């Protein structure tokens, strides 16, 4: 998954030789799970067919206001197209099209749609060397950016004329990267590194048995997904779980035991800005794990346990400027126990949930939390899906980061 996932992207294709690259661009956008519609000028059809782009985008390609072959056809509404789009990319953007964009000339569907768009508009210039360097083209670049459009820098190299220099359209991969990075820069956690822990830990009794708990990891995975949506680079350290999270901004590290998680967390904590430890880490482990399966020989089996290292305590001692949050799953004296844990472990916040609340706790799709900060201010939330709970948690954290 990428930041483009779920976005409605309108691709405007004007008539330049670089239009052939739009087949690759559409494919990359669709692969990023964006919905893509294409508007092209009549001259763009000389370089790539509407059939190619409609097949790749899985949407009809539009090039005129009406279908001249069907007198009963409904007109192609440029206003609706402009409102549908979350962002618009004009690639290739020829000198002719750029000049018309500057002066509000709406003599084709692409330009009329551009003038109707309320979303961010990116343009990727594509023209020969002398056209690119001409003062009128340079003025178009300047003016369009003053309007609030975003220019995707042209590449430099061999051009269709045989000349070499700036003017070639950015490669499709570079366009997707540029747009993605630009969208991320406007997000509240852009440039932040977020560390999340999730799931249970398993402490070996022997090669086939372990001490564990019922944590599914869903809360931690929801937190990681939300942090990525907010623009952060995320390290998700998870105990054993079947859950998956495919996102360009998320690096998943899978561990098994509390000791494994301790080491992985400390390897990544120093470079983090925010750490949220939602994993249900085992408090105890067998002091001696058998190297072979223990056979059933008696009615009772006694296993000597020893405490695991407390990850939250160790981070509370090591933290510098990080915002450190933990989770507290309680069954009695919930608020009192959560606040005590917050103080003892030097946390900036703790997220309380209790098994006394129906629909909260391990293995559920929902959770009901109370967010408590280091000033002991409490904010209780209603029962919600864990994805919505993750949004609430980051909203509270962001408020406190902004007030620093």
Q: How far is CA 364 from CA 354, 361, 368, in A?
A: 12, 6, 11
Q: What is the dihedral of CA 267, 268, 273, 276, to 10 degrees?
A: -100
Sign of the Cα torsion 91, 95, 101, 105 reads negative
Map residue 108 onto helix, strand or coil.
Answer: coil
Task: For residue 296, count CB atoms less than 10 angstroms from its CB and return exposed for 0-12, middle for 13-18, buried for 19 or more.
Answer: exposed
Residue (of 121, 124, 122, 127) closest to 95 by Cα position: 127
Map residue 40 onto helix, strand or coil.
Answer: strand
Cα–Cα distance measured from residue 26 to residue 176, given in angstroms and rounded to the nearest whole number: 10
Sign of the Cα torsion 332, 393, 2, 261 reads negative
pLDDT tens, 148-186? Answer: 999 999 988 887 778 788 889 999 999 999 999 999 888
Higher pLDDT, 74 or 363: 363
pLDDT tens, 175-225? Answer: 999 999 999 888 999 999 999 999 999 999 999 999 999 899 999 999 999
Which positions ≥6 away from 189 have C-beta within 8 Å? 227, 230, 231, 232, 274, 394, 398
Domains of the chain: 8-185 (3.40.50.1950), 193-282+303-402 (3.40.50.10300)
Cα–Cα distance measured from residue 150 to residue 66, given in angstroms and rounded to the nearest whole number: 30
Q: Which residues pair with 87 in a beta bridge?
A: 9
Cα–Cα distance measured from residue 350 to residue 376, given in angstroms and rounded to the nearest whole number: 10
| Pairing status of strand 370-373 against strand 349-354 | antiparallel
**What's the confidence (pLDDT) of residue 66?**
62
Residue 371 gets the label, from left (phi > 0), alpha (psi -120 to 50) or beta, of beta
3-state SS of the chain: helix, strand, coil percent to 5? 35, 25, 40
Cα–Cα distance measured from residue 323 to residue 402, given in angstroms and rounded to the nearest whole number: 12
pLDDT higher than 60, residue 337 = yes
pLDDT tens, 276-324? Answer: 999 999 999 999 999 899 888 777 888 899 999 999 999 999 999 999 9
pLDDT tens, 64-118? Answer: 866 655 555 555 678 788 889 999 999 999 999 999 999 999 899 999 999 999 9
Task: For residue 388, count CB atoms less than 10 angstroms from its CB and return exposed for 0-12, middle for 13-18, buried for 19 or more.
Answer: middle
- Tell me what the mean pLDDT of segment 49-77 comes to: 78
pLDDT higher than 90, residue 377 = yes
Tell me the pTM.
0.82
DSSP state letters, 149-218: -EE-PPEEEE-TTS-EEEEEPPPHHHHHHHHHHHHHHTSTTTT-EEEEEESB--EESSSS-EE-----SH
- Rounded to the nearest 10 degrees, the angle between the axes of helix 311-318 and helix 258-269 is 20
Q: Could you list the active site residues?
A: 213
pLDDT tens, 23-35? Answer: 999 999 999 999 9
**What's the confidence (pLDDT) of residue 267?**
97
* Mean per-residue pLDDT of the chain: 91
**What's the confidence (pLDDT) of residue 401?**
85
Phi, psi of 219 (to 5 degrees): -65, -45
**What's the confidence (pLDDT) of residue 166?**
86
How many Cα atoms sit within 13 Å of 337 on the Cβ side? 11
Q: Which residues pair with 238 in a beta bridge?
A: 198, 254
∠ CA 184-371-373, nearest 5°, is: 90
Q: What is the dihedral of CA 130, 131, 133, 135, to 10 degrees?
A: 130
Which positions ≥6 away from 113 have C-beta within 8 Å? 10, 12, 39, 78, 81, 82, 88
Q: How far is CA 332 from the centre of its chain?
A: 37
Map residue 329 onto helix, strand or coil.
Answer: strand
| Pairing status of strand 274-277 against strand 193-198 | parallel
């Amino acid at each position: 998954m990428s930041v483009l996932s779920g976005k409605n992207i309108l691709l405007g294709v004007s008539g330049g030789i670089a239009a052939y690259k739009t087949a690759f661009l559409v494919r990359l956008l669709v692969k990023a799970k964006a919905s893509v519609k294409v508007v092209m000028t009549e001259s763009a059809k000389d370089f790539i067919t509407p059939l190619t782009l409609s097949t790749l985008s899985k949407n009809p390609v539009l090039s005129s206001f009406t279908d001249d072959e069907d007198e009963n056809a409904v007109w192609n509404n440029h206003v609706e197209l402009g409102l549908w789009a979350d962002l618009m990319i004009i690639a290739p953007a020829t000198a002719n099209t750029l000049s018309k964009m500057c002066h509000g000339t709406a003599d084709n569907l692409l330009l009329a749609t551009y003038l109707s768009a309320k979303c961010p508009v990116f343009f990727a210039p594509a023209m020969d060397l002398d056209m690119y360097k001409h003062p009128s083209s340079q003025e178009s670049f300047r003016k369009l950016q003053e309007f609030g459009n975003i220019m995707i820098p042209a590449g430099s190299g061999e051009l269709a004329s045989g000349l070499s220099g700036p003017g070639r359209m950015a490669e499709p991969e570079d366009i997707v990267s540029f747009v993605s990075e630009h969208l991320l820069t406007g997000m509240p956690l852009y440039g932040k590194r977020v560390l999340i822990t999730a799931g249970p830990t398993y402490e070996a009794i022997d090669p086939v048995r372990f001490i564990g708990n019922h944590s599914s990891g869903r809360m931690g995975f929801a937190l990681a997904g939300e942090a990525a949506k907010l623009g952060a680079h995320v390290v998700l350290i998870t105990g054993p779980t079947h859950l998956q999270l495919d996102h360009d901004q998320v690096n998943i590290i899978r561990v098994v035991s509390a000791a494994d998680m301790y080491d992985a967390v400390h390897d990544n904590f120093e470079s983090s800005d925010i750490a949220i430890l939602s994993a249900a880490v085992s408090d105890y482990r067998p002091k001696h794990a058998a190297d072979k399966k223990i056979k059933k020989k008696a009615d009772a089996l006694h296993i000597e346990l020893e405490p695991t290292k407390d990850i939250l305590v160790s981070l509370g001692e090591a933290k510098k400027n990080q915002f450190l949050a933990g989770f507290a799953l309680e069954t009695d004296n919930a608020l009192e126990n959560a606040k005590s844990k917050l103080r003892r472990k030097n946390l900036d916040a703790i997220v309380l949930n209790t098994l006394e609340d129906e629909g909260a706790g391990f293995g559920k799709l929902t959770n009901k939390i109370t967010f408590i900060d280091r000033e002991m201010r409490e904010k209780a939330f209603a029962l919600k899906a864990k994805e919505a709970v993750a949004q609430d948690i980051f909203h509270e954290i962001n408020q406190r980061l902004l007030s620093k």
